[in-house]
């Protein structure tokens, strides 16, 4: 696959609270064929730790 599925962009930044839901979203992106781009960024909004992780399209689904 040369382009990401469902019209997704080649470069994405996933953000959200540092919880299982965020980890699932990153895992799903990796399974689709994205790869991590750099390390995560973390901040604290006074209540929760917020994470940002960039991913780029590699066209290779995880495990292939």
Question: Which tens digit of pLDDT belongs to each residue from 38-64?
Answer: 999 999 999 999 999 999 999 877 666
Rg, C-alpha atoms of the chain: 12
Domain count, the chain: 1
Mean pLDDT of 22-50: 97
Contact by Cβ (8 Å): 52, 40: yes
Query: Per the domain annotation, does 24 fall within a domain?
Result: yes
Assigned token pair, 6: 């469902």
Q: Tell me what pLDDT residue 63 has.
A: 64
In a domain, 47, yes or no: yes
Confidence grade of residue 2 (pLDDT, cut at 50, 70, 90): confident
Q: Examine residue 62 and state whether it is found in any structural domain, yes or no.
A: no
Q: Is the pTM of this model over 0.75?
A: yes
What is the model's pLDDT at position 11? 98
Q: Which residues of 43-56 are buried (b: 16+ CB within 10 A; e: fewer)?
A: eeeeeeeebebbbe
The whole domain housing 40 covers 5-57
Residue 60 DSSP label: -
């Amino acid at each position: 696959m040369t382009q990401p599925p469902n019209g997704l962009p080649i470069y994405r930044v996933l953000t959200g609270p540092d919880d299982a839901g965020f980890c699932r979203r990153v895992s799903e992106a990796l399974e689709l064929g994205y790869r991590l781009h750099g390390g995560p960024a973390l901040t604290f909004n006074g209540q929760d730790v917020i994470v940002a992780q960039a991913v780029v399209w590699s066209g290779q689904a995880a495990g292939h």
